[in-house]
Structure 1
Amino acid sequence: MKRFLGVSLAATMALSVVLPGGAAAEPQSKPNGPWIQPGQQVMLERFMEPDELHEKLEQIAERDRHDRLELEVVGHSAEYDYPIYVAKFGDADTDNPKVFLQTQIHGDEQGGTEAALSLIHNLTMSNNKDVRKILDNVTVYILPMLNPDGSETFEVEQGQSKQRRNLQEWTPEEWGLDADTPAPWYHGEDAVSGELGYDVNRDFHPDLSFELSPEDADLLPGLGTEPGFYVTPEARASRDVFEELQPDLFIDHHHRYSNTVSEDDDRLNTLQILGQVVDEDNVVSYDGVDYQLSEESLELSKQVNSHVYQVLQKGNSPFGAISLFPEVDLPGTALGSYSLNDAAIMLYETRGQQHPGGHTGQKGSGMLIQQSYIGLYETLLGLATGEIYDIDPEFYDTEIPRNSPRIGPPNL
């Protein structure tokens, strides 16, 4: 389904890099690009709409001759009732390492869905010895598109973009609250489409059984540094998968703006990573229970992030421009809430969001999808072989660049 609407002049100008035009791209800029050039057309057709994802997942499941893949609907989107799928490989009741991968919690962050679908296909179809080693030694649950409503393509004047938020109104009466109860702080208008919805990635709470009620009215509207409220069906679907699997590792795939590697290295980031999104001293208390990071899960987080960094640096890799995402303290995110439930975490923030500071065009997007796929696949293999557990966690703190300056296109 595609939706079409007009937006304000400011929003149109913000998307000027995707306007159709015949001009060829100029040479790479410094910092090295590729950058979208003025007048260059960016086509979004390569990215999947929800119906296309459904079709491709069903095709993979039908061709599963090895009986490896269990495909399950774990929820439905808020507005259009799209199914939210999880692809399961292995048993949740196991001593093997368990990994939960989630992508496209924001609708305009499509690259992770493409990488996740390739991973699902490979784990289902391949007889490669390393794939078999993964399947024998790791349980993997993959949720390839958490926010299908937000993945809709919107026509903005002559350009196209995706909505970041889900499409859902604030309905306090649904929770037994007074009609004038303020909405959660993360409910509002999408910057591109102008439509109302939630930033689903602020709708998580470390109490996985949390359900908003009149007794919680004084918590609203809340703050960015506090837990969310599980008012979106998308966040609840993710939570249900987490509760079933109880993963040792949770990976959340996002996109972001453009940054250079560090203040001393002006290469353009291909990826920012992070293994900690809640301060070690932060204790979140609710209903008599305290939630805090465990040393064991934090150590594994650092090992996993270090492993991906090292793998993507190998050889003549085009993916060497990697740094740490800025330090944050966000218990209301999926990463934050799950890390407070003893899961190690990894954040992917790959370059390539749908706006002037991030989008890379067709060729660049393909390269970045490949980068994500390699990182995800090698993480599973590293857990299967045990290689990840041999990494010194200090590598994360001392060797991965940080303090990456954000930059904008030099041609705008």
Structure 2
Amino acid sequence: MRRRTILRTLGGIAGVGTLGIGTVSADDCTDDFIKPGGPFPPETANINYNAFTSNADLYNTLDKLDRKSNLEYDSIGETWEGRDVPYVRVDGGDTDVVYVTQQHGDEQHTTEAVLQLLQRFAAGGHQVEKIRDEVTLHVVPRLNPDGWAPADNNETPQRENARPADICHDGPYFGKNQCGSVDPNRQHYFGIDSDILAETDGIDPDLIPNENPSPETQALLDKADEVDADIICDWHHQFTYRNSDCELINASTMWPRNEAAPDEAVNLSRQISAHAYQETTDLGHTTWDRYPGGTTANIARNAHGIRGRGSVLFEFRGQASQLGNAANGKLVTVINTTMNEILEGLASGALYEVDPAAADEIPPRGDYFWKDLPREEWSPEHEAYRE
């Protein structure tokens, strides 16, 4: 089912739902929440980044899948440091779905989860074939390999790309003289009509650079246009939150919030978020809230929505520097399960039956806190941290 058909099926869907999320305030959570057994590793713990897939191993794994299965591996571009931006196509049905992981180099569990997903598709099976009857899956399993590169030497990976410090540009969203590395997830407005950007975001079109300061992002934008993507799911990590029952929140989601995104695209996006929530919230390992992301068109979730696509952000607990290795297996399972449920819902048609208003049943944002940092000591950076 192509995007135009999908979107036509959404007309007239309406409704409102509510969901109680607990009877105690997060203010009642005890300090024991962050002691052993809580969300943070001990101070003495070493974070072993070598336990994750290196850039070299990622390329080798994808190459083997290409040679030994019917998955197609290619490069869609190069990073600032000359690394390939990897891409895998799982050929199938008429609905084109793009999964993007590790726009931020320090958000590695999403890549581990999508590699498990690709291994599943390479192995085949009845359920896989049911998905492939309806869906062609496009995977960018590490958009920002430069950001991850330090981890290959067991050093802390970086969020941004590796644009050299002496390369600068003026930009409509962040002002003049922007030099050095940039956030790939802030460069998705290229190709959107400048009048739309001016009207919805109040930016100066004359400040739009001639070239995208994130070649990694531009490679994704070009590929999404080439395959005429119907849906783009963007997989990230966030800091630590807890809900009103003092439970760790390990999954969050949000849809396009820019006013230029067509209603049909927003409704499809809300269906995806709601379906993921409904299918995983009772499994015992996933606790959800709604991510309070921004509205500007430079963010992937909004930019692809403006382009008329289903576009959903998924955020999972744990920046690289906040996690030891103890939680790796559970987090990868949570992410991989969500990835699979979306594809199975698309293939069965169950996802299209979800009322978009059901997305409002996802609990609102939980309580956000920092290790050893009382709220009164939060800086503007802490308050403003975004996807």
Q: Normalising TM by the smaller chain, what interval?
A: 0.7 to 0.9
How far apart, in 2, do the equivalents of 1:163 and 1:170 lie? Answer: 15
How far apart are 1:31 and its partner, in Å?
A: 11
Report the 3-state secondary structure (helix = DSSP H, G, I; strand = E; otherwise coil) of the residue aligned with 1:160: coil
How far apart, in 1, do the equivalents of 2:52 and 2:96 lie? Answer: 28
Residue 255 of structure 1 pairs with residue 253 of structure 2:
no
Structure-1 residue corresponding to 2:108 = 110
How far apart, in 2, do the equivalents of 1:234 and 1:411 lie? Answer: 34
Report the 3-state secondary structure (helix = DSSP H, G, I; strand = E; otherwise coil) of the residue aligned with 2:216: helix
TM-score (norm 2): 0.78
> 337, 343, 364: which one pairs with 2:327?
364
- 1:238–1:126 CA distance, 2 compared to 1 (3 A): same
Residue 167 of structure 1 pairs with residue 133 of structure 2:
no
Unaligned 5+ residue runs, structure 2? 1-31, 195-202, 375-387
How far apart are 1:111 and its partner, in Å?
A: 1.0
How far apart, in 1, do the equivalents of 2:159 and 2:249 lie? Answer: 22
How far apart, in 1, do the equivalents of 2:340 and 2:365 lie? Answer: 27
Instruction: Spell out the pairing of 1:14-93 with structure 2 (5 A cutoff).
Output: 29=34, 33-64=38-69, 67=70, 69-79=71-81, 81-90=82-91
Structure-2 residue corresponding to 1:284 = none
Structure-2 residue corresponding to 1:288 = none
> 99, 104, 124: which one pairs with 1:126?
124
Report the 3-state secondary structure (helix = DSSP H, G, I; strand = E; otherwise coil) of the residue aligned with 2:325: helix
Once the two structures are superposed, residues 174-226 of structure 1 have per-residue CA deviations (whole angstroms, 9 ceiling, x without a partner) of xxxxxx9646738868xxxxxx411111112152699xxxxxx965767xxxx
Report the 3-state secondary structure (helix = DSSP H, G, I; strand = E; otherwise coil) of the residue aligned with 1:331: coil
How far apart, in 1, do the equivalents of 2:191 and 2:170 lie? Answer: 22
Q: Report runs of 4+ in structure 1 exceeding 6 Å deviation.
A: 186-189
TM-score (norm 1): 0.74
Structure-1 residue corresponding to 2:141 = 144
Report the 3-state secondary structure (helix = DSSP H, G, I; strand = E; otherwise coil) of the residue aligned with 1:314: coil
Structure-2 residue corresponding to 1:245 = 227
Q: Which is richer in helix?
A: 2
- 1:402–1:306 CA distance, 2 compared to 1 (3 A): same
Q: Which amino acid aligns with 1:89?
A: V
- 1:332–1:275 CA distance, 2 compared to 1 (3 A): same
Structure-2 residue corresponding to 1:310 = 278
- Number of aligned residue pairs: 334
Structure-2 residue corresponding to 1:18 = none
How far apart, in 1, do the equivalents of 2:109 and 2:210 lie? Answer: 26
How far apart are 1:293 and its partner, in Å?
A: 0.9
Contact 2:144/2:161 (8 A) holds in 1: yes
How far apart, in 2, do the equivalents of 1:228 and 1:265 lie? Answer: 49
Residue 351 of structure 1 pairs with residue 353 of structure 2:
no
- 1:36–1:98 CA distance, 2 compared to 1 (3 A): same
Contact 1:181/1:220 (8 A) holds in 2: no
How far apart are 1:394 and its partner, in Å?
A: 1.2
Report the 3-state secondary structure (helix = DSSP H, G, I; strand = E; otherwise coil) of the residue aligned with 2:34: coil
Structure-2 residue corresponding to 1:382 = 345
- 1:130–1:155 CA distance, 2 compared to 1 (3 A): closer
Q: Which amino acid aligns with 2:109?
A: G
How far apart are 1:143 and its partner, in Å?
A: 0.5
Q: RMSD value over aligned CA atoms?
A: 3.0
- Higher RCO (Cα < 8 Å, 6 or more apart): 2
Contact 2:261/2:302 (8 A) holds in 1: no
How far apart are 1:266 and its partner, in Å?
A: 2.4
Unaligned 5+ residue runs, structure 1? 1-26, 173-179, 190-195, 211-216, 281-291
